Amino acid sequence: MPDRIRATVWGENVHERKNAIVAQVYPDGMHDCIADGLREDAALEVRAATLQEAEHGLTKSVLAETDVLLWWGHAAHGEVADTVVERVLGRVWEGMGFIALHSAHYSKIFKRLMGTSCSLTWREAGERERLWVCNPGHRIARGIEPSFEIENTEMYGEPFAIPPPDEIVFLSWFEGGEVFRSGCTWKRGNGKIFYFRPGHETYPIYFHPVVRQVLRNAVHWAAPDGRPWIDSCPNIPIDQAHEKLVAKGPKLHKEGEKGFR
Least distance in angstroms from the C-beta of 66 to a second copy: 15
Of residues 114-153, which lie at the interface with a second copy (CB under 8 A)? Answer: 114-117, 119-127, 130, 132-143, 146-147, 149, 152
Inter-CA distances, 124 with 26, 44, 204, 218, 254, Å: 18, 33, 15, 26, 60
Q: Does 187 bind a second copy (CB under 8 A)?
A: yes
Of residues 203-232, which lie at the interface with a second copy (CB under 8 A)? Answer: 203, 220-221, 224-232
Q: What is the DSSP string of 177-215?
A: S-EEEEEEEEEETTEEEEEE----TTTTGGG-HHHHHHH
Tell me whether residue 54 or residue 195 sits nearer to a second copy (CB atom).
Answer: 195
AA identity, residue 144: I
Nearest Cα neighbor of 204 from 75, 16, 17, 18 is 16
Q: What is the DSSP string of 11-40?
A: E---HHHH-HHHHHH-TT-HHHHHHHHHHT
AA identity, residue 123: R
CA angle 245, 248, 253 (to 5 degrees): 100
Q: Does 68 bind a second copy (CB under 8 A)?
A: no
Count of residues of this chain found to bind a second copy when the rule CB under 8 A is applied: 111
Of residues 24-63, which lie at the interface with a second copy (CB under 8 A)? Answer: none
Q: Does 104 bind a second copy (CB under 8 A)?
A: no
Least distance in angstroms from the C-beta of 53 to a second copy: 21
Tell me whether residue 21 or residue 64 sits nearer to a second copy (CB atom).
Answer: 21
Least distance in angstroms from the C-beta of 6 to a second copy: 17
Give yes or no for a contact between 141 and 131, defined as CB atoms under 8 angstroms apart. Answer: no
From candidates 95, 97, 183, 198, binder to a second copy by CB under 8 A: 95
Least distance in angstroms from the C-beta of 246 to a second copy: 8
From candidates 5, 7, 9, 22, binder to a second copy by CB under 8 A: 22
